[in-house]
């Protein structure tokens, strides 16, 4: 007597009809199988996790740690409960051939997916391990793993279709190969989108909610939807831009996620100082600069160091060029740096730098490089504008000039009322 018939025979003896006995027998066996599968999965999972955890603490290599990180033991733990369930499906649904066929195919498809996930966990672990090897640091390991995963997904999808249709795998591949040209032509965009979506997902290039800037398509806003063929971006003016999914891997775009998850938003802007306004600081200028409270101590200490050096080396200071000297742009640069360090809107734990860029036809760029503590766009713009308002207004205090291309107003003279009194003729000049 088969075990699956015990309950069925008992139910018949109680006087139930055959159909009722069959359904009750199927439901009880199904419930038993589900409970048993969960128990087996729980036990196997605990055993595997304990084994890998113990192994990782004893071995010198970090590969076993990476297996745990990429959930390889958790995925492998599904194998035995799945085999257990597959063997019981014919027993559970023996009186229901249609359901048996449907459930069996569903579990076989799930088996394929599980195998792919196990392969993915192993490949990701191998990828992370290879990245720790110095000699392989410049190799495109991610690309290699992606190629393997594409092949794995392709074989898995084809196998799933073969199981669902009931066609042998080889015959199914042959049929698909014959019709591949037509399929590629008809579903070209879909195939491109599918491959792109796999790439985007694997590389974690874009998530829903990310702020991206895609100049080619005029997109500048938050990603609201990602599907097989398109990515929808809601711009800040509330318009919607639709981008082909494959464009994300074919073209360059900017994702602001890193900025949003960091401690601040970057400020990187410069003012151009006229070259002919740069000079050595005289004693009178130094006395004037010492009135600026934020750099008074710096100037006093700096001047003491310079005087000590010049005295020690018998420098002739009748000419400012000799020995060590301060320049007005150097003092201004120090002032800006001090101002930014004390500004309430900047992140003091991130890089703060004021640097000179290479001189060009528009003077010498003095660049401010810092990070705002508030990353919200409106507040960020306010903080940056507040900083440069102050910097531009402070320039004349250091006897410097900002470079500015001349306009029409540069060639006219006005009286106190603002009326034009004379025009400057450059040819006469």
Q: Give the span between the Cα atoms of 341 and 371, in whole angstroms.
A: 11
- My answer on whether 251 and 297 are in the same domain is no
**300 contact partners, CB below 8 Å, separation of at least 6:** 290
Residue 45 lies in a domain: yes
Residue 200 lies in a domain: no
Residues 18 and 62 placed together within one structural domain of the fold: yes
In a domain, 288, yes or no: yes
Distance CA 214, CA 129 (A): 34
The pTM of this model reads 0.51
Q: What CATH code is carried by the domain that includes residue 381? A: 3.30.70.100
Give how many domains the chain has, as a whole number.
Answer: 4
Q: How far apart are CA 348 and CA 352, in angstroms?
A: 7
Q: Classify residue 168: in a domain, yes or no.
A: yes
Which token pair is 216?
């080619």
Statement to judge: residues 304 and 256 lie in one domain: no
Question: 């949003």: which residue's tokens?
Answer: 260
Q: Are residues 291 and 386 in the same domain?
A: no
Domain around 355: 262-279+328-429
Q: 132, 122, 25, 6: which is closest to 75 by C-alpha? A: 122
Query: Is 194 contained in some domain?
Result: no
Same domain, 218 and 365: no
Q: How do beta strands 219-226 and 211-214 pair?
A: antiparallel
- Residue 276 DSSP class: G
- Angle, helix 169-186 to helix 141-165, in steps of 10 degrees: 110
Are residues 118 and 135 located together in one domain of the fold? yes
What does the pLDDT read at residue 426? 45
Neighbours of 331 (CB within 10 A): 23
- Spatial distance between the Cα atoms of 101 and 89, rounded to a whole number of angstroms: 9
**178 and 215, same structural domain?**
no
Residue 309: its pLDDT value, please?
92
Close Cβ partners of 181 (under 8 Å, ≥ 6 residues apart): none
- Among the candidates 232, 260, 288, a domain finishes at 260
Q: Is residue 193 part of a domain?
A: no
Residues 315 and 369 in one domain: no
CATH number at residue 237: 2.30.30.60
Helix, strand or coil for residue 268?
Answer: strand
Cβ neighbourhood burial of 423 (10 Å; 0-12, 13-18, 19+) = exposed
Q: Are residues 119 and 237 in the same domain?
A: no
Do 65 and 167 lie in one domain? The reply is yes
- The first and second tokens of residue 403, run together, are 């470079």
Residue 199 located in a structural domain: no
Q: Is 347:359 a contact under the CB 8 Å cutoff?
A: no
Specify the long-range contacts of residues 148-151, CB closer than 8 Å, at least 24 apart. Answer: 148/119, 148/123, 149/119, 149/120, 149/123, 149/198, 149/202, 150/195, 150/198
Average pLDDT per block of 10 residues along the chain, 429 residues long: 55 65 74 84 82 73 77 82 81 74 83 87 84 67 72 82 75 64 67 74 80 90 82 89 86 82 85 94 91 93 92 88 92 95 91 92 93 88 94 94 76 56 50
Q: Shortest CA distance to 263 belongs to which of 379, 380, 384, 350?
A: 350
The answer to whether residues 124 and 250 belong to one domain is: no
**275 and 154 within one domain:** no
Residue 201 domain-assigned? no
Q: What is the pLDDT of residues 80-137, one digit of tens each?
A: 888 888 887 777 777 777 777 788 888 888 888 888 888 888 888 888 888 777 776 5
């Amino acid at each position: 007597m088969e075990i699956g018939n015990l309950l069925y025979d008992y139910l018949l003896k109680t006087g139930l009809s055959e159909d009722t006995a069959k359904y009750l027998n199927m439901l009880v066996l199904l419930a038993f199988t589900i409970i048993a599968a969960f128990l087996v999965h729980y036990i196997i999972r605990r055993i595997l996790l304990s084994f890998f955890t113990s192994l990782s603490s004893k071995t010198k290599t970090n590969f076993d740690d990476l297996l745990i990180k990429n959930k390889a033991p958790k995925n492998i733990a599904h194998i035995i409960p799945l085999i257990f369930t597959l063997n019981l499906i014919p027993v559970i649904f023996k009186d229901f051939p249609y359901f048996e066929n449907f459930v069996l195919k569903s579990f076989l498809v799930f088996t394929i997916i599980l195998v792919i996930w196990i392969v993915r966990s192993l490949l990701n672990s191998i990828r992370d391990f290879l990245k720790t090897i110095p000699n392989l640091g410049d190799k495109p390991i991610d690309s290699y793993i992606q190629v393997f995963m594409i092949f794995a997904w392709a074989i898995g999808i084809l196998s799933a279709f073969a199981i669902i249709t009931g066609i042998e795998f080889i015959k199914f591949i042959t049929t698909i190969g014959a019709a591949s040209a037509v399929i590629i032509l008809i579903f070209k965009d879909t195939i491109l989108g599918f491959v792109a979506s796999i790439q985007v997902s694997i590389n974690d290039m874009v998530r829903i909610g990310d702020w991206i800037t895609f100049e080619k398509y005029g997109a500048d806003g938050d990603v609201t939807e990602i599907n097989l063929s398109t990515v929808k971006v809601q711009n800040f003016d509330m318009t919607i831009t639709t981008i082909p999914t494959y464009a994300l891997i074919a073209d360059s775009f900017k994702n602001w996620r890193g900025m949003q998850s960091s401690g601040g938003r970057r400020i990187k802007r410069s003012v151009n100082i006229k070259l002919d306004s740069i000079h050595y600081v005289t004693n009178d200028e130094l006395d004037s600069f010492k009135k600026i409270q934020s750099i008074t101590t710096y100037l006093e200490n700096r001047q003491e160091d310079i005087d000590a050096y010049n005295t020690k080396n018998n420098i002739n200071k009748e000419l400012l060029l000799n020995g060590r000297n301060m320049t007005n742009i150097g003092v201004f640069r120090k002032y800006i740096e001090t101002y930014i360090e004390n500004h309430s809107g900047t992140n003091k734990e991130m890089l703060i730098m004021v640097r000179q860029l290479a001189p060009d036809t528009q003077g010498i760029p003095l660049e401010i490089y810092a990070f705002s503590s508030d990353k919200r766009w409106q507040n960020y713009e306010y903080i940056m504008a507040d900083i440069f308002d102050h910097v531009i207004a402070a320039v004349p205090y250091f006897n410097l000039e900002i470079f500015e291309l001349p306009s029409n107003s540069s060639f006219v003279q006005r009286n106190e009322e603002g009326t034009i009194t004379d025009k400057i003729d450059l040819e006469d000049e």
